[in-house]
Structure 1
Amino acid sequence: MNSQEFRSNLLLKRPRYAKSRIPVLDAFSEKGSKTVDYSRFGPYYEIYIYAMMLGIKNKKRLPLPPRDLTKDFIEIGKWKRDSSLVDFLLMVIFTKTDELAIDWNELEDLEESELSNVISKVVSLIEEYSNGGLEYLEELWEKGELDSSHYMFIDLYKDVKKN
């Protein structure tokens, strides 16, 4: 598998989220209810992306519940089409070489099954950091500690606790 095939296979993956996170996703998503308590940020996957960044910043990885308690998104490659955002997000995850347990210099020498395993690890990191970020967001939301602002996630990212 060459680098283009690796990227293409990764972009076809559909990360999952816990069904228990739907209320917090609805609270900040255009897909949510019509009453607006907070600024809306578009579809679920946009909140998921923000949550992933919060999870990374807060060093909070939280495994997903069993598969029957999760739902999946559209493919990663369809997030913000024609945007470099997906590449940026993947590069952020790719910097987590210790957590991925890979050496990028050895990638081209891996067998196809090993490359598939790397892709699975990348998707798992996305899911776990997003789930950790969603939990953080949900805790603040339930305590009433969020400001309704178009800059809410930027402010949260700046103010996130340093572990």
Structure 2
Amino acid sequence: MKLLKEKFLNKDALYPTSYKEFILRLTRVADVSKSSGSDEEKAERGKAFGSVYECFMYATMLGIKAQYPLPFERGAAGTKFLQTKFWKPDNLVEYIFISLLALADFPFSEIENLTEEEADTKALDLTKSMEFYAKGGFELMATKSKESPHYFENAGNIVSFLQTMKPLAS
């Protein structure tokens, strides 16, 4: 499992470029460590997510909880961001990794015996699966945002949206 996790953490996840504007609307991209007191700075400080990877992790967890993976072609349709091994907190990254393993069609008895190449291939499969669930989560968020444009500006709504999410009917 150690080798597979190491390979997974060294992968670059992508998010669908079609959600880039939406993600940036919810994510702090400006440096807010120095205060100028401007309205723009206050708006930036109030954003729900401190970074793109936090928004991506949230969307992934939402997609997993809703059991809502959506196909996603990586290539030109994807936007790269921070490598998985740099995501924090570690326990949340671990939770996502274990969730993806549980959802994967892969015999657990074989995990410890993977070769480097097999582990790398499986890690890429897990990363793609994570991207599918993230895309599903982003779609759910975008739909909710269309219904209520300022919904995700309230941190409490972010928590309750995830808490109340139920698996979608197949």
User: Residues 25-66 of structure 1, C-alpha deviation per residue, up to 9 Å, x if partnerless?
Assistant: 01210127x473974211111011111111111111012235
Supply the distance in 2 between the matched residues of 1:66 and 1:87 (Cα, whole angstroms): 23
Question: 2:14 is matched with which residue?
Answer: 16
Which amino acid counterpart does residue 5 of structure 2 have in structure 1?
R
TM-score by length of 2: 0.80
Question: 1:72 is matched with which residue?
Answer: 80
Structure 1 residues 101 and 147, CA gap change in structure 2 (3 angstroms): closer
Structure 1 residues 66 and 46, CA gap change in structure 2 (3 angstroms): closer
User: Residues 52-109 of structure 1, C-alpha deviation per residue, up to 9 Å, x if partnerless?
Assistant: 111111111012235112111221110116x32211221222221xxx2211111223
* Conserved? CA contact 2:13–2:127, under 8 Å: yes
1:152 counterpart = 2:152: no
1:45 aligned residue (53, 70, 81): 53
Say how many residue pairs are matched: 156
Counterpart secondary structure, 1:62: coil
Structure 1 gap ranges (5+) = none
Q: Percent identity of the aligned residues? A: 21
Question: 2:2 is matched with which residue?
Answer: 4
TM-score by length of 1: 0.84
Supply the distance in 1 between the matched residues of 2:47 and 2:84 (Cα, whole angstroms): 24
* Conserved? CA contact 2:48–2:154, under 8 Å: no
Question: 2:34 is matched with which residue?
Answer: none
Supply the distance in 2 between the matched residues of 1:60 and 1:76 (Cα, whole angstroms): 21
Which amino acid counterpart does residue 100 of structure 2 have in structure 1?
I
Which amino acid counterpart does residue 116 of structure 1 have in structure 2?
D
Structure 1 residues 66 and 102, CA gap change in structure 2 (3 angstroms): closer
Supply the distance in 2 between the matched residues of 1:4 and 1:56 (Cα, whole angstroms): 23
